[in-house]
Amino acid sequence: MTYKETIEYLYAALPMFSRIGDAAIKKDITNTVLLCERLGNPHQQFKTVHIAGTNGKGSVSHMLASIFQNAGYRTGLYTSPHLKDFRERIKVNGEMVSEDFVVQFTEKIKPLIQEIQPSFFEITVAMAFQYFAEKQVDVAVIETGLGGRLDSTNVVTPEVSVITNIGMDHMHLLGNTLTAIAFEKAGIIKQDVPVVIGETNAETSAVFTAISHEKNAPIIFADQLRYTEDHTYEDHRLHITVVSKSGNKKTGFSLDLTGLYQAKNLVTVLATVDILKHKNWQISNENIHAGLNDVKKYTGLHGRWEQVHYKPDIFIDVAHNEDGIKQLVAQTEWMNFHALHIVIGMAKDKDIEKVLTLLPKEADYYFTKAQILRALPEDLLAAKALQYDLHGHHYPDVNAAVKAAIQKAHKDDLIVVCGSVFVVGELDVNNIL
């Protein structure tokens, strides 16, 4: 098969959550264990850092990978979903997995696919582990998909586990309370392996503390060690001062990931690096600063408060749940602009009403949808939004919606594209003008 045929086969033959939703979820790790065993347990051939959380896990994964790369380590990075190209999910030192490897791996694993009928995610996890083993990475940063306890990535025993935060998302799969969701995320905590929790929360901290004690896993709450102040945006960089609560030491950082919410992620990353240094990973302060200054350059991360056009300014952001939208709205309030235009499309299984209550009423709205089965039709989204006094028109795809926003916008206006990873991924920046 060609690469194109291989990807079409994987999409067609394997249940894929992003396309069909819950039916694609396998609620245990049996298939992943079996796949790895048949491949010779490739995930045991390299060190890992394992990252879960409701929001921020993608940014934290890329930040840590960039720091590792700057420290001279051959670094694997597994994340999901992808924006444009399937191969974004699997990278070594920022380079996507080769098309040839995807083809060869799929051909090799076809009989096993027919035998055990794994999900799309289970196959991509096994593919990543095999690729990292063959490329002899020193370390791989592994982002969970959904949850943690039953996630396909949860076969690794990492150097450190990281849980960025807990918010209300995928409740139909993970539970309807923060404590229930925290329990699922805490499933990545391993025996004797340190764990970093990004944000202290009265409802979830007890869950993490109890499970870490049960597993003799040293636990650190990142926001109890450091906080940030003096957030400024200049020269396409977010400049932040980090204050250590012990000794009140202040350190300035410059990030090319410019969303204000990256301040929380930065504190989580620094706490994780503390543990890695303690475990004799050779990471200097210079490596940390250089890695954080150029995350996009080193890892290829996109879609996190990323500016893709000027005058009018257009930012894309993959925010799609309650916490993510709260942070996005706070970001817009921090910006200077004449009028606000919001292009939004959402998946049917999200808490759409909660998101709509958070969005600013003074914006002009352009409702749209991603071209996937899970997408809420744009006319239904527009009708729901009207109930919350959010006014606008609807469009069949994101590119049509953004074109309409550009035509209406003044050069000093702000256009934000959000609501779904898939809406952001389908935006063709080069052809919207």
CATH code: domain of residue 115: 3.40.1190.10
pLDDT of residue 16: 58
Query: Is residue 206 a part of any domain in this protein?
Result: yes
Among 163, 192, 225, the domain boundary falls at: 225
pLDDT of residue 20: 44
Query: Is residue 260 a part of any domain in this protein?
Result: no
> Among residues 211, 214, 208, 305, which one has the least CA distance to residue 265?
305
> Among residues 299, 292, 293, 257, which one has the least CA distance to residue 272?
292
Query: Is residue 17 a part of any domain in this protein?
Result: yes
Query: Is residue 26 a part of any domain in this protein?
Result: yes
Query: Is residue 257 a part of any domain in this protein?
Result: no
| pLDDT tens sequence for the chain (433 residues) | 999 999 999 988 786 544 444 444 556 789 999 999 999 999 999 999 999 998 899 999 999 999 999 999 999 999 999 999 999 999 999 999 999 999 999 999 999 998 988 888 999 999 999 999 999 999 999 999 877 888 999 999 999 999 998 875 544 556 568 888 899 999 999 999 999 999 999 889 999 999 999 999 999 999 999 999 999 998 889 999 999 999 889 999 999 999 999 999 999 999 999 999 999 999 999 999 999 999 999 999 999 999 999 999 999 999 988 989 999 999 999 999 999 999 999 999 888 999 999 999 999 999 999 999 889 999 999 999 999 999 999 999 999 999 999 999 999 999 999 999 999 999 998 877 6
* CA–CA distances in Å: residue 166 to residues 10, 59, 151, 380: 31, 15, 16, 29
pLDDT of residue 50: 98
**Same-domain status, 197 and 333:** no
**Same-domain status, 206 and 323:** no
Query: Is residue 281 a part of any domain in this protein?
Result: no
Q: What CATH number corresponds to the domain at position 378?
A: 3.90.190.20
Query: Is residue 362 a part of any domain in this protein?
Result: yes
Query: Is residue 246 a part of any domain in this protein?
Result: no
Domain, as residue range, for 422: 306-431
**Same-domain status, 150 and 10:** yes
**Same-domain status, 211 and 319:** no
Number of domains observed in the structure of the chain: 2
Among 175, 209, 225, the domain boundary falls at: 225
Coil, strand or helix at 387: coil
How far is Cα 20 from Cα 6, in angstroms, rounded to an integer? 19
**Same-domain status, 194 and 321:** no
pLDDT of residue 11: 86
**Same-domain status, 133 and 41:** yes
**Same-domain status, 221 and 335:** no
**Same-domain status, 46 and 162:** yes
**Same-domain status, 144 and 45:** yes
In terms of C-beta density within 10 A (0-12 exposed, 13-18 middle, 19 or more buried), how is residue 142 classed? buried
- Cβ contacts of 231 within 8 Å, gap of 6 or more: 238, 239, 240, 260, 263
pLDDT of residue 31: 92
> Among residues 392, 337, 394, 345, which one has the least CA distance to residue 372?
345
**Same-domain status, 203 and 320:** no
Among 225, 251, 282, the domain boundary falls at: 225
